[in-house]
Structure 1
């Protein structure tokens, strides 16, 4: 069965400073339990804010290292999951359910990509 990486992109400028509300955390926990019981979820985690991250870039034969925050970035990767689904449609459906849990003030996008095997 194929595996899928889902990257959760968050607009840090419009995300609540305190993070997800307790109610949202509860809803996410219940969905995570359901996905795990279904045998789909392999791994998932949220990430610390980009202000605590570092970018390493190779360009033009030179290496550069830049500590966050990254002013030019509107959206940053706020979390990820790795799931094993029968097809991409199933992976997208689980992702849609996850996004729909969020309150209206969130701006969140998910990118679902199949992991190349071999």
Structure 2
């Protein structure tokens, strides 16, 4: 019922410049883990970097109940997450889930203020 207010709020938010800019560097898969190098610019004081391993699309076959036999699709499912103190240059290590197929996953890094919990910067990259 408030579509115009929502559209206005989204437009306003998209026009804001992030306080922190994050760049994803090299990625290495080693012994069931994904090691991600990153760099930041901007005000990283009192920020953490949240690293997420996101499965782009997942399906679940329902085996019982009223939906027995149906297949459900889910999108952007977080499979692994870690939080580390923000640095100008740093790394994050995420656990790789069973059945991992890299072309169905993305990495998302968020800078988050530790006091207000406000997201101050983001970046997403396909693996």
TM-based fold match above 0.5: no
Structure with a larger share of its residues in helix: 1
- The structure richer in strand per residue is 2
Larger Rg over CA atoms: 2
TM-score (norm 1): 0.32
Higher-RCO chain (CA-CA 8 Å, sequence separation at least 6): 1
